[in-house]
Amino acid sequence: MPEDEFARAAAAIAAAGRRLDRFGWVPATAGNISVRLAGDRVAITRSGGHKGFLGPEGVIQVGLDGAARRAGDRPSAETGLHCGIYRRHPGAGAVLHGHSVPATVLSRLAGETITLAGYELLKAFPGLPTHEAAVALPVFDNDQDIGRLQARIEARWEAGPAPPGYLLRGHGIYVWGADMPQALLRLEAVEFMLRCELEARRLGP
């Protein structure tokens, strides 16, 4: 039943919100979390709520165009980025967007990518069975025009293979997976590596 599917998705989103909040990755009203539903629908956090204290009313349904499925529901402005991931990547079943200190600081200092190399947790990315690898996470300038921002992200995807994640400069990170457990695994792995990179810069050569 569609209602049961949505209820399960909302419960998974609330649990993920509590986990991200525990790590300090979704302060105040920052971040958003979503799960793909059947029939070109998406369950996603409502605009303005604290992700660590989500109840059933904190999750709404939108279409893949980002429009709310119920009158009066207010999606986050960044819903379009979630929907862009689902439209482009059919295997994506959950998307996480957080605002951690490492992701925010390092994205402000980076060029077009942040390269993560030599970490055991690179195994969280597809096709990387060992630490003897490198991943270049794309970094995009943030833009209040979500359509224009999504077009730049799409252009990067068209240019060649890209990891299941990217950063917005001075803003935060987007990571996705086939389901919520995989998305959480990838986010935790990337956040650990970004924290290591930030600490290495602090300590210096």
Q: Would you say 110 and 169 are in contact if contact means Cβ atoms under 8 Å apart? A: yes
**How many CB atoms lie under 10 A from the CB of residue 138?**
20
Q: Would you say 42 and 64 are in contact if contact means Cβ atoms under 8 Å apart? A: yes
- 27 SS3 class: coil
Q: Residue 99, annotated ligand binder?
A: yes
The DSSP code sequence of 48-113 is T--GGG--GGGEEEEETTS-BSSTT--B-TTHHHHHHHHHH-TT--EEEEE--HHHHHHHHH-SSE
Q: Residue 97, annotated ligand binder?
A: yes
The DSSP secondary-structure symbol of 130 reads S
- State the sign of the Cα–Cα–Cα–Cα dihedral 53, 143, 93, 113: negative
Burial string for 110-132 (b: 16+ CB within 10 Å, else e) reads: beeebebeebebbebbeebeeee
Q: What span, in angstroms and rounded, lies between the C-alpha atoms of 145 and 108?
A: 19
**How many CB atoms lie under 10 A from the CB of residue 38?**
8
Residue numbers belonging to the annotated binding site = 97, 99
Residue numbers belonging to the annotated binding site for Zn(2+) = 97, 99
